A and B are shown apart, each in its own frame.
Chain A
């Protein structure tokens, strides 16, 4: 149903921000901030100026005296309809074009890669629980810290074990709801190795304020090493209920053995 829109968007393809989630967000955010500030200053400036100009103690106070409202009159609209519509049309054009512009980016963010390319993604299951995040890797091992390689697209398949949470890594601009019984997805590419924080963005109980997780972006080689050693790290292996069933069908997602398989067929889309 979005075919026409997509067509239209493709023509202005060059204007649409792409790249990492950070790039996308930054370019749109700053355009909005700039325009928003400008519009805010103009509109509030104008209304203040106009109110001051026609203050009752000023020079222009008598300008409209031939036609003041009186008690008990039946209301009629004042004039200046043309000006009103002009301003309205202008604002509508600005708002609609902004949204159409960002819609192209939405389509990109929703499906950044073709199905074939999806093979190269790293898919990690994220399970929210009061009050921690568990990350389950393709090898079936799990950890309470998110380790990812730099410069690789990471796809998060997010769900919850108990209540409604929301998983977000602000610095990497990845965020999605963690809903019990449902899975949602988000993705990111981290360019800079380093440590980041993930937070919970939906009130989920007494420990909500502290429901954070450490996100470690590693050089690809370091990541490979870490990934290979995962099984040995007993403390990181949080989930004991790994079984043979399809990971995408179980809300607990306690299993990652065939997670990479589902990623390539894109079957996990269907559960959402």
Chain B
């Protein structure tokens, strides 16, 4: 079974700081997102059961080192990697990302199963998996916490509020996974060294026969939320302070609705 896993790299969120309500990403290294690692691990596990090939597919966006960073996916067990890196794609919207990924999946060719994380760790729109599936006309299952493949079909479990739903779709299909699905392995030095000689291709938009995307969505503002504090100080004994505090909360409508 041939599997393509869409893998995004994000600025390392632990290193991002907020300054003047904006994220400072200068000198912050990129990393493969955690959910994408879950998807990769799921692909590697499926390959162990069913054979085939795992390809990691990454749209570099603004990460100029994506071709380097994606080697972690190869070390984790992907057989090949494809990076799409094009200056016209530095800040694409979800529609453009999906169009490019769909074209890349077509170019890769053999793909029985297309895997995604449920969302990316930075913007977390949760749209890309569904959009790509739609563009490729594939059946899609979102938020899988278990994936199995057998007899030309994929069978997934997902948690609903009060039940576990089991869904099946014929292959080829697209599936997005949640973090409960597995514990991604941390590659050892030997795996990292072996990854070096695995095939890695970098494509530009022209290689996919695409032109620069016209954004249909524009980010008008993306600021950290700012909260005005009420700056109320309660005085008196602890009991009095507590009473006054609770009353204030009730008045604000926070308590006792």
- On whether the two chains bind one another, the answer is no
Chain A residues in the interface with B (C-beta under 8 A): none
